[in-house]
Structure 1
Amino acid sequence: MLDAIAISDLHLGSDNCQAEALVQFLEAIRFGDVPTRRIILNGDVFDSIDFRRLKKHHWKVLSLIRKMADEVEIVWINGNHDGPSDIVSHLLGVTVVDEFLVVSGGKRVLFLHGHRFDAFLEKHRITTWFADWVYRMLQKIDPTHGFARWAKQSSKLFLRCTAKIEAESISYAETKDCDAVCCGHTHLAVANRNGPIEYFNSGCWTEKPCHYLTVENGFIDLKSYHESPAVVDRPQLAAVSA
């Protein structure tokens, strides 16, 4: 059994949210195909706190999370899109925190969203909004998301921001005497095992392929998830209401 599974940047309410794939993945966890002691939602589960934007499969994701909270430990780390933590906690009955520590195989693994280290986001909100809009348009134009990924990873500004978040997250984890730090926020899946403190980023669920992290006996692994063409018949869940 895994010590933890971490996913981030689901952006429920966004047109690009891969909600159907996420439902399959959560059901695989719930029904024992991917057993784990805890699930860590590492920020930006919502695209915004406007529940009117949620579609059918987005509500199903929330229904699964609420049901699974009675069966497995679920920790929600607040992201910059998630809104007030008391609303999230009340809606789903989960613990909402700013960061979370997992001890696995004698190693201390710190989870945080990472937006606290993104000074550009705070200083240049209009530029950030426009860049995000262009990125989402590219995803709509190309269903494979290949061009959007290329554009993002070719941006020197984006790469500088992600490098800064990685460096500052590692420095912060060092003050907490941790062996590894796991972030979200950048939507860029990363597994950097170089150096005394390992750095990981769980990517996102708005881009294909989707990514997640597993923690088992001190080893952290970055995995990609591809939606299965064969949908297993699972018991139906009642929808969560806001």
Structure 2
Amino acid sequence: MRYDCLVISDLHLGSDVCQAVLLEQFLEWAVENTRVLVINGDIFDDLNFKRLSKRHFACLKILRRNSDRDDLRLVWVRGNHDGPADVVGHIVGVQVLDEYVFRNDRLHLLALHGDQFDRFVNDYGWLTEIACGLFYYVQKWAPHQTARYLRRVSKKWQRSSVSIRDGAVAYAASKGFRHVTCGHTHLPGIEQVGDVLYANSGTWTEQPPCPFVSVRGSEVRLEYWPLATDEPAASELAHAMARSDL
């Protein structure tokens, strides 16, 4: 059975740590298994296209090839690494938005990247770029566990993950939404915060499995690619049942 919506984020095409092989496989699968595919920010690491590899271009070609289908909607929510993405979005054939609301007959899910709630990035953008560069270097050459540990420590130091979650939840509640999904933090997770279900779709720059948010009916889950052999086992990695009321 097809998904109603799939959400991924923080692909960082152009970076050496992008899991492009897995991403290409996922996109080929996703376009045949969902009605809506949302890329929730930071498709690119930056707009220096000379950094894109053949695998990175292959991922973009999948989006372009499927952009005109009647049975599939592709949405790109702008992230802080995407810059003036409208022109690129036109070339790829994907609509670029600041935020997006997915609707079915059971729920409304607000999707936004989350950087607007990150005070550190907004106040010290130049320092963030330096920190990202250093971290990507560590992530490329250090063992995976070391890179993950450093990321979690740095995010806690910036206190960004919690502030982004709380900002997104407050913003969603103020707009009357009870479901919201972000990226940006690179920390996948899903939790109920008051009356709002918050899901973060993580990143595709770490070792697999790679996270994505899925919607079927009233159910919102955090799942991982590659999928487990049987779907229930895959979903048990992390999931939460969304409320059926809008």
TM-score range, shorter chain: 0.7 to 0.9
Say whether residues 1:3 and 2:4 are aligned partners: yes
CA contact (8 A) 1:5 1:39 kept: yes
CA contact (8 A) 2:112 2:182 kept: yes
Residues in 2 aligned to 1:86 and 1:14: alpha-carbon distance in whole angstroms: 21
Say whether residues 1:16 and 2:5 are aligned partners: no
Percent of residue pairs bearing the same amino acid type: 40
Deviations along 1:24-77, one digit per CA (max 9) or x if unpaired, are 1111123x3xx1101001000011111111100000000001111122100110
The letter for the 1-side match of 2:94 is V
The alignment covers a number of residue pairs equal to: 223
Residues in 1 aligned to 2:138 and 2:226: alpha-carbon distance in whole angstroms: 20
The letter for the 2-side match of 1:137 is Y
CA contact (8 A) 1:10 1:46 kept: yes
- Deviation of 1:226 (Å): 3.4
Residues in 1 aligned to 2:227 and 2:192: alpha-carbon distance in whole angstroms: 28
CA contact (8 A) 1:100 1:112 kept: yes
- The DSSP-based 3-state class of the residue aligned with 2:108 is strand
User: Which of 67-76 and 167-176 deviates more?
Assistant: 67-76
Residues in 2 aligned to 1:124 and 1:149: alpha-carbon distance in whole angstroms: 23
TM-score, normalising length: structure 2? 0.86
- The DSSP-based 3-state class of the residue aligned with 1:15 is coil
Q: Which residue of 1 aligns with 2:55?
A: 57
The letter for the 2-side match of 1:113 is H
The letter for the 2-side match of 1:141 is W
Q: Which residue of 2 aligns with 1:177?
A: 176
Say whether residues 1:66 and 2:64 are aligned partners: yes
Q: Which fold has the larger relative contact order, with Cα–Cα distance below 8 Å and residues 6 or more apart in sequence?
A: 1
The letter for the 2-side match of 1:93 is G
Say whether residues 1:108 and 2:101 are aligned partners: no
Q: Which residue of 2 aligns with 1:231?
A: none
Residues in 1 aligned to 2:196 and 2:83: alpha-carbon distance in whole angstroms: 30
Residues 226/142 of structure 1: CA separation in 2 closer, same or farther (3 Å cut): farther
- Deviation of 1:142 (Å): 3.1
Deviations along 1:93-134, one digit per CA (max 9) or x if unpaired, are 121111111123422210000111111112123432232123
Residues 125/29 of structure 1: CA separation in 2 closer, same or farther (3 Å cut): closer
The letter for the 2-side match of 1:58 is H
Q: Which runs of 5+ in 1 are unaligned?
A: 229-242
Root-mean-square deviation (Å): 1.7
Residues in 2 aligned to 1:141 and 1:93: alpha-carbon distance in whole angstroms: 35
- The DSSP-based 3-state class of the residue aligned with 1:193 is strand
- Deviation of 1:194 (Å): 4.1
CA contact (8 A) 1:75 1:97 kept: yes
CA contact (8 A) 1:213 1:222 kept: yes
CA contact (8 A) 2:169 2:193 kept: no
Q: Which runs of 5+ in 2 are unaligned?
A: 229-246
Residues in 1 aligned to 2:54 and 2:81: alpha-carbon distance in whole angstroms: 20
CA contact (8 A) 1:190 1:200 kept: yes
